[in-house]
Structure 1
Amino acid sequence: MDLGSCYLGGNADAVEFCPHRPFRHVLAAATYTLQEQECDRAGTISLFSVDAASEDASRRLQLLHTVETAGIFDMKWSPKSPLLAQADAHGRLALRRLEQEDGSDTGIVFTNVSAEDISSSMCLYVDWNQTAESLSVGLSDGSLSVVSVREDRLEISEQWTAHQFEVWTCYFDRTRPHLLYSGSDDCCFSCWDLRESLPNIVFQNKKSHKMGVCCIAQNPLERNMLLTGSYDEFLRVWDMRFMAKPVNEKLINLGGGVWRMKYHPNIADVVLTACMHNGFAIVKVGSGDARVMETYCKHESLAYGADWQKSEEVEQNGNSSVVATCSFYDRLLRVWQPENLAEL
């Protein structure tokens, strides 16, 4: 069921619901727009209020605040607090904090906390470790950076050449924080041990993906199950029990490049995927065969951003799940509810 939609001021490429109370209604949507005449890449972060239960349709998706930035490739909320990390086209990593402000019209304030120049190359992806003490950043020159967060200050602790081409994704292992996974346009899926002063490669798979590796996600209930998504249109499921040589135990073709994946916050084995030229899909990836449960094709351009809303209603009833999605060239943001989760 569609809850609301709007057009953003630039090409839409990322959406992230804040997972922290009392801001679980807040959705961040980011844009990246190439300005050819100025030879620049501009962007915005817009904050919306999402209230799926409102009887007033105009209140289901409401714009709260917009900030102008450099072009944003990716952003992530901290796992510990309402702190948003943004990776931008100017090679900068920035932190912004969401706070309550009773005197404002929206009841919130979005403040700059810190920023750091990571590279002369573009920052393409960002991920937090689970203690919120470190961030990993994938760069357009093939490098990876690990950045320490110290009292809201950002300091580069490690940076190395990890791949031949763009690093589209990097992902901290959620239970083994010394491990960092990466995926690149060079078709490699890699893992790095951060305990060494120069990160040591644990494995590098060069043969399984036929095109660039775009995203990585770990099953929150089964640490030895990892997913990768690729431009080659396949979502792959990996058995990570033998870290030196992970096993690709199953795969499913989603009909478009698998750009983003998000596990459902409450329903086991359910994954939301952004499939570029083929819209969005909700996939069941459990012990049996992977299967598509539902597709959403109401966007008219590249499907890039996708996220689940965390809420008390969803914790009590998974079928009340709320999803935000965005598409690039048509600049469209949509908020909707899946129809087929009741069967789980």
Structure 2
Amino acid sequence: MEIGHCLLDGNADAVEFCPHDSFRRVLAASTYTLQEGDHPSRSGSISLFNVDAESRRLQLFHRVETAGIFDIKWSPGGAGGAPLLAQADADGYLRVHHLDCCSDVLEDRDLLDTLPDGGNCLKEVSGEQVSSSMCLCLDWNPSATSISVGLSDGSLSIISLMESKLDIQQEWKAHEFELWATTFDIYQPQLVYTGSDDCKFSCWDLRDCPSNFVFQNSKIHKMGVCCITKSPSNSHMLFTGSYDEYLRVWDVRSISKPVNETSICLGGGVWRIKHHPSVPGLLLAACMHNGFAVVKIKGEKAEVIETYNKHGSLAYGADWQRGEVCQEGKSMSGAVATCSFYDQLLRIWMPESDLEI
């Protein structure tokens, strides 16, 4: 079911629903636009939307202009405190914003009444130039006290956040080429995973300084590693996506090869993987040249149960909305946000498949 769509003000590359319960209807969408010429520049923006799937409402309520953005992430919902949104941008900066009441800048009073918590806007609380290279990806640790940032020169930075102050704790050359994927292990946050255009998939132990390999796999991915995510329902299971079009399922206890030797080919290049917030084993994948896919994981089997192909260019951004909790105490299925690059399009839709497993 289609809920709504919107043209953004630049090339759309990331969408993130806020995972904090009181702000589940807040969606952030980011853009990256290269202005070519004698003096090229990379500009971008973050747009905040109110998404009410039940009433099929998609409303823009705030936008901030920035450098060109490659990645955005909200702080984890269970970390406590106000929601924070981190951006990794083309100027080599990590910036952290928080949601702040903006009722004084909203002219549409009817819109204000529909917004969670009376209307909220982004305010930058901290910014740090990590490198002269571009910041390509980021991830929060589970307690929202540090952020890992992958760089275009193959380096990885670990940056602490304490009382709105960013401080670079570690930085090392993790890969030979662009580092497109970084994620903390949600069960063992001293571990961080990285993936790169050098086709290598690595794990690092932050208790060592400089950090040491826990493992590195350089034989399985036939092209660059675009995304990595740990299963929120199985501490041993991990997923990778690659330009080689495969979604791979791994058991971290035996990392020499995936659980299923071929895993599943989604086509187009697997750029993003997002876990459903309440249904174990259900994934949403952004597949670049092949739209979006909903994938069901059961044991060693991965199966595509739905595809979405209503975007006209590179499928980059994808996320699930946390569902409303109904009277029976069950979480209702939330909406899906997807975005595509060159056509600058954001779409909100509901999967048609039965998502229960």
TM-score, scaled relative to structure 1: 0.95
Write the distance in 2 (CA, Å) between the matches of 1:110 and 1:220: 28
Does the Cα contact within 8 Å between 1:240 and 1:247 map onto a contact in 2?
no
1:316 is displaced (CA, Å) by 5.4
Partner residue, 1:320: 333
1:100 is displaced (CA, Å) by 3.2
**Cα-Cα RMSD:** 1.5
Does the Cα contact within 8 Å between 1:179 and 1:192 map onto a contact in 2?
yes
Cα pair distance change 1:137/1:102, threshold 3 Å: same
Does the Cα contact within 8 Å between 2:159 and 2:166 map onto a contact in 1?
yes
Which ranges of 4 or more aligned residues in structure 1 deviate by more than 3 Å? 100-104, 313-320
SS at match of 2:258: strand
Superposition pairs for residues 204-283 of structure 1, below 5 Å?
Answer: 204-242=216-254, 245-250=255-260, 251-283=263-295
SS at match of 1:290: strand
1:247 is displaced (CA, Å) by 3.6
- Name the % identity: 60
Superposition pairs for residues 56-95 of structure 1, below 5 Å?
Answer: 57=56, 60-79=57-76, 80=79, 81-95=82-96
Partner residue, 2:35: 35
Partner residue, 1:155: 167
Partner residue, 1:97: 98
1:324 is displaced (CA, Å) by 0.1
Write the distance in 2 (CA, Å) between the matches of 1:342 and 1:193: 36
1:304 is displaced (CA, Å) by 0.0
Partner residue, 2:144: 132
Report the AA paired with residue 352 of structure 2.
E
1:275 is displaced (CA, Å) by 0.1
Q: Does 1:331 align with 2:328?
A: no
Does the Cα contact within 8 Å between 1:214 and 1:229 map onto a contact in 2?
yes
Q: Does 1:11 align with 2:24?
A: no
Q: Does 1:341 align with 2:354?
A: yes
Between 228-237 and 102-111, report the one with greater CA deviation.
102-111
Partner residue, 2:213: 201
Does the Cα contact within 8 Å between 1:267 and 1:318 map onto a contact in 2?
no
Cα pair distance change 1:204/1:288, threshold 3 Å: closer
Between 147-156 and 305-314, report the one with greater CA deviation.
305-314
1:267 is displaced (CA, Å) by 0.3
Q: Does 1:114 align with 2:126?
A: yes
1:256 is displaced (CA, Å) by 1.3
C-alpha offsets along residues 72-107 of structure 1, whole Å, 9 cap, x if unaligned?
000100112410000000000000000234545342
Partner residue, 2:116: none
Write the distance in 1 (CA, Å) between the matches of 2:26 and 2:89: 21
1:66 is displaced (CA, Å) by 0.5
SS at match of 1:320: coil
Partner residue, 1:293: 305
Write the distance in 2 (CA, Å) between the matches of 1:41 and 1:93: 15
TM-score, scaled relative to structure 2: 0.92
Report the AA paired with residue 151 of structure 1.
E
Does the Cα contact within 8 Å between 2:86 and 2:94 map onto a contact in 1?
yes
Does the Cα contact within 8 Å between 2:336 and 2:351 map onto a contact in 1?
yes
Q: Does 1:167 align with 2:183?
A: no
Write the distance in 2 (CA, Å) between the matches of 1:191 and 1:320: 33
Structure 1: gaps of 5 or more residues? none
